Amino acid sequence: GENVEQHPSTLSVQEGDSAVIKCTYSDSASNYFPWYKQELGKRPQLIIDIRSNVGEKKDQRIAVTLNKTAKHFSLHITETQPEDSAVYFCAASKKDTGRRALTFGSGTRLQVQP
């Protein structure tokens, strides 16, 4: 089955700096890669996603890049703000009638210091 590894497990940055979180996946058939943000005591929520036919996607201060050859994708947050502090999860899935579920990474706790 799919295995998603995520690094780092914790990340501390100063407000205004950039943050990068990296994930690798094992199943070359995976072709959908979302990122979820979970604030303290709240449910995970989708912040951005990318499909395998695209190499990069941006939404304001957030961007995701995908390298299918290396089976690697990353989340980039620029101009970080204290409200970006949360746990971030990457995930992967593939179009497969037997498995319509996301496989998640282990999470990254991002702390933005004011």
Partner 1 sequence: DVKVTQSSRYLVKRTGEKVFLECVQDMDHENMFWYRQDPGLGLRLIYFSYDVKMKEKGDIPEGYSVSREKKERFSLILESASTNQTSMYLCAGGTGSFGTEAFFGQGTRLTVV
Cβ pair 35, 90 in contact under 8 A? yes
Least gap, CB of 36 to partner 1 (angstroms): 8
| Number of neighbouring beta carbons within 10 Å of residue 39 | 13
Q: Which amino acid is at 94?
A: K
- Looking at the Cβ atoms of 14 and 60, the one nearer to partner 1 is 60
Residues 24, 90: Cα–Cα separation, whole Å: 9
Q: Provide the minimum distance between the beta carbon of 89 and partner 1 in the complex, in angstroms, as a whole number.
A: 6
Residues 38-67 that bind partner 1 (CB under 8 A): 42-46, 49, 51
Q: Which residue of 9, 18, 28, 67 would you call a contact of partner 1, by CB under 8 A?
A: 9
35 binds partner 1 (CB under 8 A): no
71 torsion bin: left (phi>0), alpha (psi -120 to 50), beta (else): left
Distance, in Å, from the CA atom of 16 to the CA atom of 57, rounded to the nearest integer, reads 21
Where do contacts with partner 1 occur on this chain (CB under 8 A)? 1, 4, 6, 9, 31-32, 34, 42-46, 49, 51, 89, 93, 95, 98-107
